[in-house]
């Protein structure tokens, strides 16, 4: 009689410069829009944890907790410094790091040098991952970064979150790093975050989609009221009242738009995202508030959950 293989469970932190495709990889693995993604750098602002449950019969029973971290950049304000601190915290809890570069990368840029320096104190192994392989060939990127990461790399994987190429190989590369142990999360849990945090992220995703230039970086979202359909008997809808925080009156005018048109568009898009992810019909009320220099205010950053 053979014994069933023992369960494995561990944490893999996704680390890399902004825009390299960390959050897109999470969504491709979880087959849903769990993490917010945009073409703008510094989209992710919290080291959020997402749960992948291995279901392939051929693979050992396991659960991988992926930490999606903010892209490492040279910080320009207190918010930026919080983003970097949250990556360092994520490293202390990781069993392995997946360091992401783009398949077409030919040299190590300034942000990558920062990111690689952050890995200096990490004693574990690194999975070097070339993303967006639908757009380019990865051998040279592997060569350049393997050498920059100085002997930490155990395995290289090329993948595309867009086409799905390389995703099973990526999971296979993560499995050997997981320690034996029971799952941390029930199999129906996708993400370790409060409903309010997830709702705020979807509203921010809608704002990121529709706003241009520097404005998205100045926007934070605060959930003022959140009532589940059970608590909101009169309408049987998920009721959310949220504020978009900006730093100046000029930004407020842009976010509201002529005759309220931009805010309306953001609301329509955010409601769609919230309905897709919660499965509920949603009543969403959005306000825009000016909070001068919120990205430099420890009190506001703490209130928004941006403190390590």
Ligand X SMILES: Nc1nc2c(ncn2[C@@H]2O[C@H](COP(=O)(O)OP(=O)(O)OP(=O)(O)O)[C@@H](O)[C@H]2O)c(=O)[nH]1
Closest CA to 34 of 80, 65, 72: 65
Q: Which residue has the tokens 């608590």?
A: 231
What region does 9 belong to: left with phi over 0, alpha with psi -120 to 50, or beta? beta
Q: Taking the complex as a whole, how short is the minimal distance between the CB of residue 19 and Mg ion, in angstroms?
A: 8
Q: Does 32 bind ligand X (CB under 6 A)?
A: no
Binding test (CB under 6 A) with ligand X, winner from 65, 101, 161, 262 = 161
In sequence order, the 6+-apart residues with CB closer than 8 A to the CB of 192 are 48, 49, 50, 51, 65, 185
Binding test (CB under 5 A) with Mg ion, winner from 27, 44, 243, 291 = 44
Q: Taking the complex as a whole, how short is the minimal distance between the CB of residue 287 and ligand X, in angstroms?
A: 26
Output the CA–CA distances (angstroms, integers) from residue 183 to 6, 179, 217, 266, in the order listed.
Answer: 11, 11, 36, 38
Binding test (CB under 6 A) with ligand X, winner from 8, 49, 132, 269 = 132
Strands of 26-124 (E only): list them: 48-53, 62-68, 96-102
Chain centroid to Cα 99, Å, comes to 14
Binding test (CB under 6 A) with ligand X, winner from 2, 4, 39, 92 = 39
Q: What's the rounded Cα separation, in Å, for the pair 283 and 267?
A: 10
Residues 17-36 that bind Mg ion (CB under 5 A): 22-23
Q: Does 43 bind Mg ion (CB under 5 A)?
A: yes
Site stretch for ligand X (CB under 6 A), options 130-138, 184-192, 224-232, 242-250: 130-138
Binding test (CB under 6 A) with ligand X, winner from 32, 41, 144, 303 = 41
Residue 303 sits at the vertex; the CA angle it makes with 298 and 307, to the nearest 5 degrees, is 55
Site stretch for ligand X (CB under 6 A), options 139-147, 154-162, 251-259, 263-271: 154-162
For residue 284, what is the DSSP state?
Answer: E
Contact partner, 151, from Mg ion, ligand X, none, Cβ < 5-8 Å per class: none
Q: State the residues that interact with Mg ion by CB under 5 A.
A: 22-23, 43-44
Q: Which residues bind ligand X (CB under 6 A)?
A: 18-24, 37-39, 41-44, 70-71, 131-132, 134-135, 160-162
């Amino acid at each position: 009689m053979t014994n069933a293989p023992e369960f494995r469970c561990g944490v893999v932190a996704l680390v890399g410069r902004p825009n390299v495709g960390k959050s897109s990889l999470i969504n491709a693995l979880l087959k849903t829009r769990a993490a917010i993604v945009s073409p703008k750098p510094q989209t992710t602002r919290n080291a959020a944890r997402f749960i992948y449950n291995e279901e392939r019969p051929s693979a050992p029973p396991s659960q991988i907790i992926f930490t999606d971290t903010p892209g490492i950049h040279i910080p320009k304000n207190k918010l930026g410094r919080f983003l970097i601190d949250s990556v360092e915290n994520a490293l202390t809890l990781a069993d392995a790091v997946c360091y992401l570069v783009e398949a077409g990368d030919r040299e190590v840029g300034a942000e990558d040098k920062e990111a690689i320096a952050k890995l200096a104190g990490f004693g574990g192994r690194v999975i070097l991952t070339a993303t967006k392989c639908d757009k380019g060939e990865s051998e040279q990127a592997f060569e350049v970064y393997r050498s920059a990461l100085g002997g930490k790399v155990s395995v290289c994987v090329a993948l595309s979150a867009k086409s799905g190429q390389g995703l099973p190989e990526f999971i296979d590369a993560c499995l050997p790093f997981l320690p034996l142990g029971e799952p941390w999360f029930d199999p129906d849990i996708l993400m370790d975050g409060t409903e309010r945090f997830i709702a705020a992220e979807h509203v921010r995703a809608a704002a990121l989609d529709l706003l241009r230039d520097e404005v998205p970086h100045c926007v934070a979202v605060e959930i003022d009221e959140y009532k589940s359909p059970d608590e909101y008997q009169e309408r049987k809808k998920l009721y959310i009242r949220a504020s978009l925080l900006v730093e100046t009156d000029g930004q407020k005018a842009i976010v509201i738009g002529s005759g309220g048109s931009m805010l309306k568009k953001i609301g329509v898009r955010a409601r769609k995202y919230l309905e897709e992810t919660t499965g509920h019909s949603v009543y969403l009320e959005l306000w825009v508030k000016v909070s001068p220099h919120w990205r430099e205010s420890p009190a506001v950053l703490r209130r928004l959950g941006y403190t390590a």
